[in-house]
Structure formats: structure tokens, C-alpha cells
């Protein structure tokens, strides 16, 4: 047992004033917090040429910067009192995670004079979250792990939206550290796994609401969405909605893809929960219904060339990140256990075949997925494993993929060669 008491068990005695009596309080108690009144983070000013707006925003950043420096300089016990009991700090962290510009927010521009300060705040928010996610800072400074999990959860220091935001803001550059941090949060508080399940259902609701906005109706919030009779209706929605609404749909799709793919990259164990809740089938159906319509309507809309180009890139970003999300789950839940020949290998082979068979009707999704992650490569992995693999089923899937590709796929433009196409159809057709 450690010679030092954990923070949650420590007490502090206040010296008696003349005539008074001594008082003892837990070290983790609201009476130890300082009145800092952290200010919340607001999104970048709408008009970076408006001096008044920029100056006010810059002043806000200055307060945030000073306050976060102060917070990170606090000793362990004072830091934790502030973190647990100061609601203005909760609001600051929450608003930063929500409204800070993402690296893929191409339309957000920070006023030049604020960039260095914003960078410093970006770093300090990460360090604050890292410190919060660390239950043991040194042998002397720690919190009992089970109590730590309760503190995180009961005070909403982290919740699923915040974890998603953290991954989307920090994953590409600080992945390994973030993985440890998020992993520790889930380890110390398994209730977050239940929250993740709930969140998956919410994401499916969001899929349906996007389809509705695009004029593609879903049967019920939790079932596979179905296209409306007559695709002209859906096309007309996406073509006739305002440019802002259309842009929002595109940005939303990109944000969903980037958020999910980055989260699962940081926390691969989450893939199992997504898979268990039938997310792959819902994702492929959603993609199959929404993305082609969005692409098709972009071609029909009359927009400025620069805007059109930007939206085309965002759609591409949405597609590749949604495909990546699907791939992350397939790799983690099916292919990795097979490659590593784990005990669950046979079950994973079956799971892989069932999953792939279940999405074959989503042919435009299948085509794009095939283009990014050819089925043949995965089939090779399966056939190389020692257990019996039903080659007829593999062939059936391969054939279906080939048909989908022949219908919706395209060959890439020839590069240097004189024959047609760089990539041929999977079935070898010209």
C-alpha cells in the first residue's frame, strides 16, 4: 500500500482562529476553489475585418489563455478541486471542444493577430483534458481508480460528445497520447461503453434525419432507411434547397465521417460496440442512399465554380472518411483476429462473410468500398488461414462486388499507358 493517501481520502484541517475551533474538510471540496470565472469560448468572429468583433474575441482569448495557464500551474489538489467544482471551467472546456475550428473546416479563418494565442489555448485545452484523464500524476498525487471513474462520470468531465470532439480536434497529430488518454477513461469507467451504445442509436437517428432533409424517407428511426418512390423527389430536394442548406448537408456528412473515423482510430475497442449494434449495415445503407444523391445534385446545382470545387472536395472527404469508418470496424472486429489467429478466428471469418453479404444490395456503397479496399485482398487473408473457409460464399460475394462495380464503378483515367484505364473492373472486364 502506498505511503501516501489518495486525494479522495485526504483531509485538510484549518487552524482555529482565536476563540474558534479547528475545522477539517476533505482535500477535494468546493471550499478550496478560487473564483476565476472562466469565460466560455466562442466561435471565430463572423467578419474578421470587423475590428470591434475581433478585439472582443481577442480579449476573450487572452482571458482564456491566462486562466488556463493558471489552472495548469496549480498543484494537484487545487487543480482537481477546480476541475470538479468550477462550473465555469466545465463550460469553457465544453464550448472549446464544441466550437473550436476543426482542421477540415475549410471555411473557418482565424484572425491573424489571434493565431498564436489560439494555438496556445488549443494546446492547453488538450493538456487540461490530459491531466483530467490521468488518475495518477505521481506516487504522491493520485486518486483511487474506482473513485476517479465515478468523478469523471458523475461530473460529466467527459461524455461521449466530448470524447468525439477531442478525437476530431487532436487525433491526427497527437494520436498515441490521445489513445492512452481515451483508453484510460474507458478502462476506469466502463459506463462510458453503455453511453457509446446509446450514442450509436442517436447517430442512426441523425442518419435518418439527414435522409429526410434530402427527401429520402426512412421507415423508422431504427430501421434501414428506404428511398422514396421515384428518385426525382429526392433529387429535387437536394437541388432546390438553399445553397446554405445544401452546404450544411455536405459539411454535416463530412463532419460525421471525420468524427467517427478519428474516434475509432483513437479508440479501436469502440469498434466492437459499433459492430454489435449493427452499425455497419446502417452505415452502408445510409451511404448508398445519401452520397450518390448529394453528388448528383451538386452537378445539377448552379453554383460559383470555387464553391462547387470546395463542396466537391468536402463530399470526397465525407466519402473517404465514411468508408474508413467502415474499414476500421471490419479490420478491428474481423480481419485482425483472423490475421493474428486468435481463438475467435472462426467466428470472425463467419462474421466477416455475414457482414459483407448483408451489404451487397448497397451497390454504390459496395463500389466505392471496393475501390478503396478491394475485396480480393480480404478474401486472400481468409483463404490463407488454416480453418475451413467456404470458398463458394467468398466467390458469391466477389461476384456481387464485381457486378456492382461493373454497374457503378469507373476506371481511373489512363496515366502514361496506351491501353484503356489504369484500374480494370474486378472481374477483368475492359
Partner 1 sequence: MRELPRITGAIRALSQYPGEETDDKRQGTQELLQKRHLVTKRRATEEGSVWSQLVERIRKEASAQEEEVTATLKLLTQCARQIVGKDTENDVVESAAVYLFDIFKPIDKVGHRETTKIRAIFGPFPASAATAACDIVNRIKSWLDEDIELPGNHKREEGDGEENITEFGKGIKFTFPTSTEVEEEESSSESEDEDRKEF
Q: Rule CB under 8 A: which of 285-344 touch partner 1? A: 292, 295-296, 299, 309, 312-313, 316-317, 319-320
Decide if 38 contacts 91 (C-beta within 8 A): yes
Nearer CB in complex with partner 1: 331/403:
403
Scanning 7-15, 160-168, 182-190, 331-339 for contacts with partner 1 by CB under 8 A, the matching segment is 160-168
- HSE at residue 73, side-chain half, CA atoms within 13 A, is 6
**C-alpha dist (Å) from residue 359 to 46, 208, 269, 403, 404:** 43, 18, 23, 14, 11
Q: Which residues pair with 26 in a beta bridge?
A: 11
Question: Taking CB under 8 A as the rule, which mask of x and - marks residues 396-415 in contact with partner 1?
Answer: ---------x-xxxx-----
Nearer to partner 1, 172 or 268 (CB): 172
CB of 303 to partner 1, least distance (A): 16
113 binds partner 1 (CB under 8 A): no
Rounded to the nearest whole angstrom, what is the least distance from the CB of residue 148 to partner 1 in the complex? 17
Query: How far is the C-alpha of 364 from the C-alpha of 95, rounded, in Å?
Result: 38
Of 12-20, 94-102, 275-283, 341-349, the window that binds partner 1 (rule: CB under 8 A) is 94-102
| Least distance to partner 1, CB of residue 383, Å | 25
45 makes contact with partner 1 (CB under 8 A): yes
218 φ, ψ to 5°? -100, 150
For partner 1, the closer of residues 28 and 249 by Cβ is 249
d(CA 178, CA 126): 9
Region 376-395 residues binding partner 1, contact defined as CB under 8 A: none
Quick one: which segment of 18-26, 254-262, 328-336, 340-348 binds partner 1 (CB under 8 A)?
254-262
Q: How far apart (Å, rounded) are the C-alpha atoms in residues 366 and 350?
A: 19
Member of 148, 164, 192, 286 binding partner 1 (CB under 8 A) = 164
Q: Binding partner 1 by CB under 8 A: which of 14, 16, 127, 387?
A: 127
Select the residue interacting with partner 1 from 363, 382, 389, 398 (CB under 8 A): 363
Q: What cell numbers appear for 41 in the block?
A: 469560448
Between the CA of residue 126 and those of 68, 117, 174, 256, what are the distances in Å? 11, 14, 10, 22
Nearest to 170 by CA among 182, 183, 156, 157: 182
Q: In terms of DSSP H, where are the helices of 267-304?
A: 270-276, 279-300
Residue 395 DSSP SS3: helix
100 contacts 119 by C-beta, under 8 angstroms: no
Report the nearest approach of partner 1 to the CB of residue 66 (Å).
Answer: 9
- Alpha helix (H) ranges present in 189-269? 191-213, 231-240, 243-266
Angle made by CA atoms 298, 301, 307, in degrees to the nearest 5: 70
The three-class DSSP label of residue 277 is: coil
Q: What are phi and psi of 166, to 5 degrees?
A: -60, -45
Q: Alpha-carbon distance 9 to 6, whole Å? A: 6
69 near partner 1 (CB under 8 A): yes
Nearer to partner 1, 165 or 378 (CB): 165
The C-alpha cell that represents 219 in the structure block: 421507415
> What φ, ψ does residue 51 adopt, rounded to 5°?
-60, -40
425 binds partner 1 (CB under 8 A): no
**Residue 25 sits in the site that holds partner 1 (CB under 8 A):** no
- Taking the least distance from each CB to partner 1, the nearer of 170 and 274 is 170
Q: Does 72 bind partner 1 (CB under 8 A)?
A: yes
Cβ 155 to partner 1, closest distance in Å?
A: 10
| Backbone φ, ψ for residue 11 (5° rounding) | -125, 155
Q: In the bound complex, what is the minimum distance in angstroms from residue 39's beta carbon to partner 1?
A: 5
Which residue in the set 354, 372, 387, 429 belongs to the binding site for partner 1 (CB under 8 A)? 372
**In terms of CB distance, is 121 or 394 closer to partner 1?**
121
Shortest Å, Cβ 194 to partner 1? 12
Question: 199 to 238, contacts with partner 1 by CB under 8 A?
Answer: 199, 202-203, 205-206, 209
Distance CA 68, CA 130 (A): 13
- Total residues at interface with partner 1 (CB under 8 A): 89
- The reply to whether 108 sits near partner 1 by the rule CB under 8 A is yes
Does residue 104 touch partner 1 according to CB under 8 A? yes
Interface residue with partner 1 among 39, 303, 331, 385 (CB under 8 A) is 39
Amino acid at each position: 500500500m502506498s505511503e501516501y493517501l489518495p486525494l479522495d481520502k485526504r483531509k485538510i484541517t484549518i487552524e482555529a482562529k482565536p476563540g474558534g475551533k479547528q475545522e477539517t474538510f476533505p482535500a477535494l471540496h468546493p471550499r478550496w476553489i478560487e473564483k476565476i470565472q472562466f469565460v466560455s469560448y466562442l466561435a471565430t468572429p463572423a467578419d474578421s475585418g470587423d475590428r470591434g468583433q475581433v478585439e472582443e474575441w481577442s480579449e476573450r482569448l487572452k482571458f482564456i489563455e491566462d486562466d488556463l495557464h493558471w489552472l495548469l500551474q496549480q498543484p494537484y489538489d487545487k487543480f482537481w478541486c477546480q476541475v470538479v467544482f468550477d462550473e465555469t471551467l466545465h463550460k469553457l472546456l465544453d464550448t472549446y471542444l464544441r466550437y473550436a475550428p476543426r482542421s477540415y473546416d475549410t471555411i473557418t479563418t482565424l484572425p491573424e493577430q489571434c493565431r498564436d494565442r489560439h494555438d496556445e489555448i488549443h494546446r492547453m485545452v488538450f493538456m487540461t483534458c490530459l491531466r483530467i484523464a490521468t488518475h495518477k500524476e505521481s506516487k504522491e498525487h493520485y486518486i483511487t481508480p474506482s473513485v476517479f471513474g465515478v468523478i469523471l462520470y458523475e461530473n460529466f468531465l467527459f461524455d461521449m460528445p466530448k470524447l468525439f470532439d477531442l478525437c476530431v480536434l487532436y487525433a491526427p497529430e497527437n494520436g498515441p497520447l490521445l489513445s492512452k488518454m481515451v483508453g484510460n477513461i474507458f478502462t476506469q469507467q466502463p459506463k462510458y461503453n453503455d453511453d457509446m451504445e446509446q450514442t450509436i442509436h442517436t447517430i442512426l437517428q441523425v442518419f435518418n434525419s439527414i435522409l429526410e432533409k434530402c427527401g429520402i424517407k426512412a421507415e423508422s428511426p431504427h430501421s434501414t432507411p428506404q428511398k422514396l418512390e421515384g428518385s426525382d423527389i429526392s433529387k429535387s430536394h437536394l437541388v432546390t434547397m438553399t445553397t446554405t442548406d445544401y452546404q450544411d448537408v455536405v459539411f454535416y456528412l463530412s463532419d460525421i465521417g471525420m468524427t467517427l473515423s478519428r474516434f475509432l482510430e483513437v479508440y479501436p475497442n469502440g469498434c466492437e460496440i459499433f459492430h454489435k449494434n449493427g452499425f455497419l449495415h446502417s452505415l452502408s445503407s445510409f451511404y448508398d442512399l445519401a452520397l450518390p444523391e448529394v453528388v448528383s445534385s451538386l452537378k445539377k446545382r448552379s453554383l460559383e465554380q470555387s464553391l462547387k470545387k470546395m463542396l466537391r472536395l468536402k463530399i470526397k472527404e465525407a466519402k473517404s472518411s465514411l468508408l474508413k469508418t467502415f474499414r476500421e470496424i471490419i479490420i478491428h472486429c474481423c480481419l485482425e483476429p483472423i490475421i493474428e489467429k486468435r481463438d475467435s478466428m472462426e467466428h470472425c471469418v463467419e462474421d466477416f462473410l455475414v457482414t459483407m453479404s448483408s451489404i451487397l444490395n448497397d451497390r454504390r456503397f459496395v463500389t466505392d468500398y471496393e475501390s478503396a479496399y478491394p475485396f480480393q485482398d480480404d478474401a486472400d487473408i481468409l483463404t490463407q488461414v488454416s480453418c475451413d473457409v467456404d470458398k463458394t460464399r467468398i466467390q458469391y460475394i466477389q461476384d456481387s462486388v464485381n457486378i456492382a462495380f461493373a454497374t457503378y464503378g469507373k476506371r481511373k483515367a489512363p496515366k502514361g499507358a496506351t491501353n484503356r484505364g489504369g484500374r480494370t473492373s474486378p472481374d477483368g472486364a475492359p
